[in-house]
Amino acid sequence: MNRGPRRAPSAQERSARQSPGDNLRPQAVRLAPLPGILGRLNGPQTMGRGRAFWSGFALLLALAIVYPLFVDGWTVGNTAYFFTWTFMAMGLCLIWGYGGALSFGQTAFFGLSGYSYGVLAINLGSAYGLTFAALAIAVLASLLLAAVLGYFLFYGRISGVFLGIVTLSVTLVFETFMAQTAGPEWAIGAARLNGFNGMTGMPPLTLPWPGGDLALFPGIPLYYLLLATMVLCYLALRVLVNSRFGNVLVAIRENPQRAEMLGYDVRRYQLGTFVIGSGLAGLSGVFYTAWGQYITPSSMGLTAAALPIVWVAVGGRRDLTATLLGTLIVLSAFQSLTVYGSQYALVVMGLLLLFTVLLAPEGFIPAVVRAVTRLPWIDRAQSSRSQAERERRP
C-alpha cells in the first residue's frame, strides 16, 4: 500500500468533490422540501423518507412520549435501561455499517466512560448539576482514547480483520486490569474501584431544579431525558450520514482504493468516524452507570463485547433506523429470555448472530422491509448512487 505524500487538492478538485453530494441532493429535496441542514435528514444513505416514513416516525415518537402514562414505574425504568444501550449500537452502526471498519472493542469505551463517570461523580458530588459535567468529561475521555487508538490503527492502514482483534484485545486487557483493582490501594479520591465486584455508590444524573435538585433515578424523568437524547442522536446521525461526510464514508466502505484515487484521505474519514462512534459508546457507558449506579469489569468482557455486534448485525448494520429498532427489539427479546437463565439467552444470541450472517447478511429489518413493501429501498438508494456516478462521467 502506498503511503506517499499527498498534495493539497486544488480549488477545482475541491469543487469536483462537492459534486457527488450535490448530485444526490436534488432528489432528496424533491421528496421532502426541508430547508438547509434538515434537508439532509433524508438522503441516499438512510432507509425511509417521504411522508409515510415521517408520519410513522411521529406516531412512534408520540407513543413513546405517552408510554409512561400507561405502564408502571418499573417498566418505565426498564425501558430507559434499553435506551441506554442504543447509543453504543448507533455508534457501531456508523463505524461498521457505514464506515466498513469492524470494531469489536466498543465496550472498552463504554467501560472507560462508565468508570470515569463513577469516579468523577463520586468525587464531585451531585450538587449544581456537576453530574452533567462528569458526563461530559467521561465522554471526552472516550473521545480521546478513540483518537489515540484510532490514530495508530487507521494511520497504520491495517486491514479490517486486524482492526477487530486489536480493538477486542484492548477491551479484554482493560477488563483484566479493572478486575484486579480490588484492593484498597485502588481508589481515585473517594472512589473505590472494587475490582471484579464493580463500582457502586455514584450519584445518578442530577438536574439542578428550582425547589430542590432532581435526581434522575430510573423512572419517568430519566426516561424522558434518555428518549430525547436518543432521538436527537438518531436525527443528528441521519444528517451526518446524508451529508458530504457520510457519502464519502460510504464510498470508502464500498471501495477504499477508489475513494483514495478520487482524492479523499481515507484515514482521516475513518478516524473521524471511529471517534464519533466511540464517543457514543462512551455515552452509553455513562448512562448505564448513572442508571443503575453500578458498573463492573464484566461489562467489557468477551461476552459483553459480542452483544453490540449482535444487536447491530441482526437489526441491519447498514441503516440507522434498522439498527435502532433492531437493538430495541433484540434487547427486549434478550431480557424476556433471561427469565429462563442468562446462559440460555446468550446461546440464543449466538444462534441469532449465526443465522443473521448466513441468511440475512444485511440484517433482518431491511430484509423484512423489502419483503413486506416490495419496494427495494436499499436498491433504490444504490441505483441513485450509481446514477450519480453516471452523471459524473464526462
Partner 1 sequence: MLQEIFAFLYQFGDAFAFLVLSAAGLAIIFGMMGIINLAHGEFIMCGAYVTVTTARLGLPLPLAILCGALAAGLAGILVERLIIHRLYHRPLDSIVATWGISLIVTQTVLILLGSTMPGIGTPLGSFSIGAFSYSEYRLVLMAVAVLLLIALYLLFNTTRFGLLSRATIQKPQMAQALGVKTSRVYSLTFGLGAALAGLAGGLYAPTMTLVPTMGVTFIVESFVTVVVGGADVFLGTAPAAAVLALIKAVMTGWQGQLFGQIGLLVTVIVVIRILPRGISGWFLKERT
Q: Does 309 bind partner 1 (CB under 8 A)?
A: yes
For the bound state, the minimum distance from the C-beta of residue 162 to partner 1, rounded and expressed in Å, comes to 5
Chain residues 73-112 in contact with partner 1, contact rule CB under 8 A: 102, 104
Question: Does 19 help bind partner 1 (rule: CB under 8 A)?
Answer: no
Site membership for partner 1, residue 183 (CB under 8 A):
no
Nearer to partner 1, 98 or 223 (CB): 98
Q: Using the minimum distance from each CB to partner 1, give the nearer residue, 134 or 365.
A: 365
268 near partner 1, rule: CB under 8 A: no
In the complex with partner 1, the residue whose CB is nearer, 52 or 347, is: 347
Print burial letters for 333-370: b (CB count within 10 Å at least 16), e (below 16).
Answer: ebeebeeeeeeebbebbeebbeebeeebebbbbbbebb
Segment interacting with partner 1 (CB under 8 A) among 77-85, 182-190, 284-292, 338-346: 338-346
Measured distance CA(107)–CA(78) in Å, rounded: 21
- Under a CB-based contact definition with an 8 Å cutoff, are residues 252 and 81 in contact? no
The answer to whether 109 touches 145, Cβ cutoff 8 Å, is: yes
- Position 353 contacts partner 1 (CB under 8 A): yes
- CA 376 remoteness from chain centre: 25
Among 74, 162, 196, 209, binds partner 1 (CB under 8 A): 162
Nearer to partner 1, 242 or 356 (CB): 356
- For residue 74, count CB atoms less than 10 angstroms from its CB and return exposed for 0-12, middle for 13-18, buried for 19 or more: exposed
Q: In b/e form, how buried is each residue of 307-321, taking b as 16+ CB within 10 angstroms?
A: bbbbbbbbbbbbbbb
Length, in residues, of the chain = 394
Instruction: Enumerate the H helices of 93-125 as residue ranges.
Output: 106-124
Considering only residues 56, 73, 160, 201, which one is a binding residue for partner 1 as defined by CB under 8 A?
160
**Helices within 193-265 (DSSP H only):** 220-242, 244-254, 256-261
DSSP secondary structure letters along 7-43: PPPPHHHHHHHHHHHHHHHHHHHHHS---GGGGGGSS
Find the radius of gyration of the CA atoms of the chain: 22
Q: Which is nearer to partner 1, 53 or 151 (CB)?
A: 151
Q: Nearest distance from residue 37's CB to partner 1, in Å? A: 33
- Interface residues for partner 1 in 119-158 (CB under 8 A)? 149, 151-153, 155-158
Report DSSP letters for 261-325, one per residue.
HTT--HHHHHHHHHHHHHHHHHHHHHHHHHHHTEE-GGGGSHHHHHHHHHHHHHH-TT-HHHHHH
Does position 330 bind partner 1 by CB under 8 A?
no
The least CB distance from residue 158 to partner 1, in Å, is 5
> By CB under 8 A, which span of 249-257, 260-268, 288-296, 309-317 interacts with partner 1?
309-317
**Residue 314 binding partner 1, by CB under 8 A:** no
Least distance CB 69 / partner 1 (angstroms): 38
CB of 338 to partner 1, least distance (A): 12
Residue 255 engages partner 1 in binding (rule: CB under 8 A): no
- The reply to whether 172 sits near partner 1 by the rule CB under 8 A is yes
**CA–CA separation, 25 vs 36, rounded Å?**
11
206 φ/ψ angles, rounded to the nearest 5 degrees: -130, 120
Single out the segment in contact with partner 1 by CB under 8 A; choices: 136-144, 166-174, 193-201, 322-330.
166-174
Q: Which residue has the cell 469505551?
A: 109
Binding site for partner 1 (CB under 8 A): 1, 102, 104, 149, 151-153, 155-162, 164-166, 168-170, 172-173, 176-177, 180, 301-303, 306, 309-310, 313, 341, 343-344, 346-347, 349-354, 357-358, 361
